[in-house]
Amino acid sequence: MATTGHTRVASAAALVVVAMILCSAIPGAGATMFPEVEITLANDGENPVWFMCQMTEKGDSLYELPPNSTYRFNFTHVAFPMRWCYMYIHPGSQGFFWVYTVRSRCTKCFWSIDKHPSLYRNDIGRWERQKLFMPPSFNISNFLLNDTQSAR
């Protein structure tokens, strides 16, 4: 029985590889199969906010996003990607939010940050507020820049 299971997995993997090769041979097919996603965080508030975003060059500690400035990053959409950012807006408004999920339905995702983060949803033509959440075991002091790091 175990051999049959391994055979099915191997057959499925081979089918996926063949499909990817065929799609890469068709001009433009790879672009729709694995689109490039662009995330923009825009600080539209009057004060700086602090952030870090998973799987970016700004994912190891908190970074300042001054008022009227943006931070942008890209990634390739493969399978069901999820990306989070941590945002410190003020003491009463801080936590994590999903900056990208499949439900976002965007390839150019624009976030406006003021009192809270809001994603502009092109598919429905309106802003959608995102709630910040804080895992119980999270300790922000583990991500604060020390003097050595800030000199980089």
Number of Cα atoms under 13 Å in the Cβ half of residue 115: 1
Give SS3 for 17. Answer: helix
Nearest to 41 by CA among 84, 101, 91, 82: 84
pLDDT of 69: 98
pLDDT of 101: 85
The pairing of strands 93-100 and 108-113 is unpaired
pLDDT of 63: 93
Place of tokens 């020390």: 146
Over residues 35-94, the pLDDT tens digits come to: 898 999 999 999 999 999 988 888 788 999 999 999 999 988 787 788 899 999 998 899
DSSP 26: S
